Structure 1
């Protein structure tokens, strides 16, 4: 079938025009700060950016900003993020104890024992406390859910290029993570010292990046940003009337250091950049169950900056073209060709394979895989279980 040459020419001109406009527009870097549960407000900002048709060419995040940024980098929509956050069982995620229905019968018989409780180990006849108060199995599973199983050797290869910021606990240096196991990198960026264990990355031992660079505006510019949209969800300083407990004083001490670097980063913003600071009142970094309020605060703050944001908005056609480009960078789903078990000493790899809901020659069913991994974890034989796609 032949098309009239005039029609073909018109289509070609439209494609060329869209491509030219995309090439001419400034590149937008989205920089998301840390702030614990307050970082859920980032999702509200993303919803407004989507509605306003503002494209994001790269994303840099610290701590909770790295979690939302990592999910965005895989192409997850803000609506899907919102759904996952609102339906998350935060007590289960942070409690790190298996659900009773996942625990095998021989463990249920020992209900008076808690195989997942706080314990002290001994070294040279001295008690040694664990390096963390919170387990990481279920929170890592949650991060894998947020990334949809999408992996990339280099984070520049993700649908939206991405960087996560952490801190080396040995020397206090900033660690900008640009490759590796994405969910593990996300967890490293938010591994609050004493709460979560440090995460090895290259030659570093990484903890929460908020203590060294809670808002990586400079990293956003390096990565892609002609323009930076920065979102600050950090906690405000506390006045002396509220500094009545040791915890409050410790939190304030950390916050002073965080704010000092953040203000230096914010000072580099130009009139072309956009700074969004959601107002969250008394909501704290631990109020994960207040997710609806955080998201609403993010939306409200972004809408207040809408006039500035609209300078970088695209037409309907150009925005759809950008969305299609992001979608096209997602890896195509492939069939599982091989399952390999590593790191086990006492349990047979063949037994573990038989317990996994993975079939070679078929696509990965992430929800089923997670359920089977949770059942293996509930046996109490392993401190940590992770998987990676190659």
Structure 2
């Protein structure tokens, strides 16, 4: 066989190259796009303050928030705010809460006692709450929840974010001198309003990004309490307003329903209180949406960690 000429070698090499190129097409290099960071959703906390009979207004607040697609990731409550908050955290809708609020009777919540520590035992309230939440402990509720009470020995705030839901609400609602203080782990607890009427700081400590606080406190009427809700009102005559104002200022939005001297001994009065909550929340709705939107924009601007 004759050796291939230089020209033949070059020609053969080109043919192999062309053949290889036709079998493996060249893929153009695409420019690398920066990763798109999803819109950050803030952790929204709904803080429901104590206020006894005025706590029905919390239901109106929840109605408006639900209607506008604003669902809290965390609920923190004191006294009547703890009661309403626990039911909402259990998965009940605003309409279910309204139905309960307008139909629950004193007989379902009050059990009288001969104790020197108080004339209301509180066990009925505890059992009623547990029935409403399907006997689930706090940590098993669909929405994260915390109930704020007061350690009567240390006079310090106590936060219950796990354990018996009904017992935590009972502790938070146990007005000193009216309810027999429940014992939890050998400690006596009383109304959370004594140490944290609108527990904004608790929500902050639990990681909330946007805090919506509801303040339904106002001086109670100087009259003899005639129902469960009016009994809860007795605490708020001794709450230092300065302490409440100092804590509530840390909220992003504060809703103050005009509840004044609205009574709650009948369905019509309770409906009026719920309506007051709706009206006050509608007035603050744009502020709430603005705070949520502002958080999302700030989160998107943050650099990605690599």
| Aligned-residue RMSD, C-alpha | 2.7
- Inter-partner Cα distance in structure 2 for 1:312 and 1:159: 24
Query: C-alpha deviations, 1:186-228, integer Å up to 9, x for none?
Result: 1110011121111122353111010111111111111131110
Q: Which residue of 1 aligns with 2:145?
A: 162
Structure 1 unaligned spans of 5+? 1-16, 97-115, 120-128, 246-250, 315-390
- Inter-partner Cα distance in structure 2 for 1:308 and 1:180: 35
Count of equivalent residues: 249
Q: Decide whether the 8 Å contact of 2:79 with 2:173 is kept in 1.
A: yes
Q: Which residue of 2 aligns with 1:44?
A: 60
Structure 2 unaligned spans of 5+? 1-35, 225-232, 294-306
Task: Report the CA distance shift for 1:258/1:81 in structure 2 as closer, same or farther (over 3 A).
Answer: farther
TM-score (norm 1): 0.58
Q: Which residue of 2 aligns with 1:294?
A: 273
- State whether structure 2 residue 100 is matched by structure 1 residue 84: yes
Q: Decide whether the 8 Å contact of 2:75 with 2:143 is kept in 1.
A: yes
Q: Which residue of 2 aligns with 1:183?
A: 166
Q: 1:138 aligns with which of 111, 120, 124?
A: 124
- State whether structure 2 residue 49 is matched by structure 1 residue 61: no
- State whether structure 2 residue 242 is matched by structure 1 residue 260: yes
Query: C-alpha deviations, 1:148-184, integer Å up to 9, x for none?
Result: 33235xx3x5311111110111221111112111111
Task: Report the CA distance shift for 1:199/1:46 in structure 2 as closer, same or farther (over 3 A).
Answer: same
- State whether structure 2 residue 189 is matched by structure 1 residue 173: no
The 5 Å alignment of 1:234-383 reads 234-236=217-219, 255=237, 257-269=239-251, 273-283=252-262, 287=265, 290-311=269-290
State the SS of the aligned residue for 2:46: strand
Q: Decide whether the 8 Å contact of 1:54 with 1:313 is kept in 2.
A: no
Q: Decide whether the 8 Å contact of 2:51 with 2:236 is kept in 1.
A: no
- Inter-partner Cα distance in structure 1 for 2:235 and 2:164: 32
Query: C-alpha deviations, 1:68-114, integer Å up to 9, x for none?
Result: 11111111112111111211122x13553xxxxxxxxxxxxxxxxxx
State the SS of the aligned residue for 1:179: coil
Q: Decide whether the 8 Å contact of 1:168 with 1:204 is kept in 2.
A: yes
Q: Name segments (4+ residues, structure 1) moved above 6 Å.
A: 242-245
- Greater CA radius of gyration, 1 or 2? 2
- Inter-partner Cα distance in structure 2 for 1:138 and 1:46: 25
- Inter-partner Cα distance in structure 2 for 1:139 and 1:252: 17
Q: Decide whether the 8 Å contact of 2:193 with 2:235 is kept in 1.
A: no
Q: 1:205 aligns with which of 184, 188, 197?
A: 188
Task: Report the CA distance shift for 1:26/1:95 in structure 2 as closer, same or farther (over 3 A).
Answer: closer
